[in-house]
């Protein structure tokens, strides 16, 4: 599939969208110190430490989650003046489609406290993205491919600023921690993605299997709460660290603080971002997905 000659002209590698996710932070710093690692002949590779004040503070954000600040109406709203809203406007002004250095592809680096392993995340199911997913899965069969689909990330996330984008999400890892194994795995997916874009521009894509498993977002669910808004249950031990594993009707999903098991009652699903620390404030205990076998 070719959009036009050398259709990928500029790539932006982003870390520190969330300031306490240090694998992305230190990956970007490495690439800034050694740009030859991300240099490819047919396109320009740029780097961005997206939220420097949050990185300095060791926090996810200062005023507001930066990865929820890129809705078009928010970018155009002059009354939004908190730190992350202004930061999003500046990022869009520089790298957005009408910006000073418009980027065709964004690689957004994240980590999670959930047991997501190495996940390659897309915000839509464009053919270009699916073919890249197949290539990465062919090289690294252990990775998971996740489509955020209707979650809204493709509209209000930083990745929405480019025509095409992926997120690389690795875990389980605590906030504010660097894990060497996950750091190296993140690097390997970044390099493989850049290689793919180079092959694509040169019209020299290698032969590879076009089949892979895709987990598509369906909805998010919250923890049980009492009338005061306090959570009354936690992730059941049988579900903890079981991201991407089947959750069937009757399986335990929550455990109340007084020891009562709450069973799952809906259709078969595959939870992801199970017990993600940053999602407590977003009223999200986990996200549900459907598992699809994709052949391009």
| Bond into 172 cis (ω within 30) | yes
Instruction: Report the sign of the C-alpha dihedral through residues 276, 282, 284, 285, in that order.
Output: positive
Residues 286/220, Cβ–Cβ less than 8 Å: yes
**The whole model's pTM is what?**
0.96
- Give the bridge partners for 168, in sequence order: 109, 120
Work out the percent of the chain whose per-residue pLDDT is above 90: 94
Q: How confident is the model at residue 149 (pLDDT cuts 50, 70, 90)?
A: confident
Confidence of residue 150 (pLDDT cuts 50, 70, 90): confident
Q: Which domains, and CATH codes, for the chain?
A: 10-209 (3.40.630.10), 217-291 (2.20.25.160)
- Report how far residue 43's alpha carbon sits from residue 36's, in angstroms, rounded to the nearest whole number: 13
User: How many Å separate Cα 75 from the centre of its chain?
Assistant: 21
Local confidence band at 1 (pLDDT 50, 70, 90 cut-offs)? very low
Mean pLDDT of 19-25: 98
For range 19-29, the mean pLDDT: 98
- Residue 16 confidence (pLDDT) above 80: yes
- The predicted model gives 85-106 an average pLDDT of 97
Query: What is the pLDDT, as a whole number, of residue 6?
Result: 55
- Rounded mean pLDDT of 209-235? 96
Mean pLDDT of the chain: 96
Token pair listed for 99? 């910006």
In this predicted structure, what is the pLDDT of residue 152? 72
| pLDDT band at 272; cut points 50, 70, 90 | very high
Confidence of residue 118 (pLDDT cuts 50, 70, 90): very high
Q: What's the average model confidence in pLDDT over 55-62?
A: 98
């Amino acid at each position: 599939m070719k959009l036009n000659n050398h259709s990928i002209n500029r790539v932006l590698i982003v870390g520190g969208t969330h300031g306490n996710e240090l694998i992305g932070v230190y990956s970007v710093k490495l690439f800034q110190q050694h740009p030859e690692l991300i240099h490819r002949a047919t396109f320009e590779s740029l780097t961005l430490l997206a939220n420097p004040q949050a990185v300095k503070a060791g926090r996810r954000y200062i005023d507001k989650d930066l990865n929820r600040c890129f809705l078009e109406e928010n970018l155009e709203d002059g009354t939004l003046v908190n730190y992350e809203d202004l930061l999003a406007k500046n990022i869009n002004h520089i790298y957005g489609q009408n910006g000073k250095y418009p980027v065709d592809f964004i690689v957004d680096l994240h980590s999670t406290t959930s047991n997501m392993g190495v996940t390659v995340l897309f915000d839509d199911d464009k053919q270009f993205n699916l073919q890249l997913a197949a290539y990465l899965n062919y090289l690294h069969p252990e990775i998971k491919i996740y489509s955020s689909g209707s979650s809204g990330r493709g509209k209000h996330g930083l990745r929405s600023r480019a025509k095409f984008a992926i997120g690389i999400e690795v875990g389980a890892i605590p906030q504010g921690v660097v894990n060497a194994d996950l750091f190296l795995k993140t690097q390997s997916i970044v390099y493989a993605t850049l290689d793919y874009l180079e092959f694509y521009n040169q019209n020299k894509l290698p032969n590879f299997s076009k089949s892979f498993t895709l987990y598509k977002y369906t909805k998010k669910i919250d923890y049980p709460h009492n009338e005061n808004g306090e959570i009354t249950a936690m992730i059941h031990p049988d579900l903890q660290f079981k991201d991407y594993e089947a959750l069937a009707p009757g399986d335990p999903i929550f455990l109340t603080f007084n020891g009562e098991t709450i069973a799952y009652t809906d259709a078969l699903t595959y939870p992801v971002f199970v017990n993600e620390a940053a999602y407590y404030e977003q009223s999200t205990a986990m996200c549900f997905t459907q598992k699809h076998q994709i052949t391009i």
